[in-house]
């Protein structure tokens, strides 16, 4: 099993930037995709971005021009740099680990962090 802990959420205004970080622990982390989902009340948990240990990345269309995911295999961390934040980015952001290959859906995620709140005011 993989344990995940997020940090870096907060309250910002539209156009500002935030960087989220996720610390992962466990065995064979190189086999896992590590990434981010987000969720607001009443909506499905939404894929944001993911990163594999070989450097491959994947982004949701809604964030691909503004967010950047990075992974440090030596430190077992994954970060999400969020630029030009919009009110619609407001959500609880969850770090996620998956090994099934279905990394764009919560159904393919095996481990979740507890979440960190991102609030963007207009």
Give tens-digit pLDDT for 78-121: 999 999 999 999 999 999 999 988 889 999 999 999 999 999 99
pLDDT confidence bin for 31, thresholds 50/70/90: very high
Give tens-digit pLDDT for 90-101: 999 999 999 988
Interior/surface letters 11-47, b for 16+ CB within 10 angstroms, e for the rest: ebeeeeebebbbebeeeebeebbbbbbbeeeeeebbb
């Amino acid at each position: 099993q993989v344990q995940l802990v997020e940090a870096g959420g907060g309250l910002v205004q539209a156009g500002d930037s935030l960087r989220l970080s996720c610390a992962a622990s466990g065995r064979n982390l190189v086999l896992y995709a590590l990434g981010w989902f987000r969720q607001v009340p009443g909506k499905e948990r939404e894929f944001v971005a993911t990163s594999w240990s070989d450097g491959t990345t994947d982004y949701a269309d809604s964030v691909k021009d503004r967010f950047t995911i990075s992974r440090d295999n030596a430190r077992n961390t994954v970060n999400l740099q969020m630029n030009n934040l919009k009110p619609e980015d407001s959500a609880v952001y969850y770090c996620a680990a998956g090994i099934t290959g279905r990394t764009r859906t919560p159904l393919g995620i095996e481990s979740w962090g507890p979440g960190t709140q991102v609030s963007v005011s207009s």
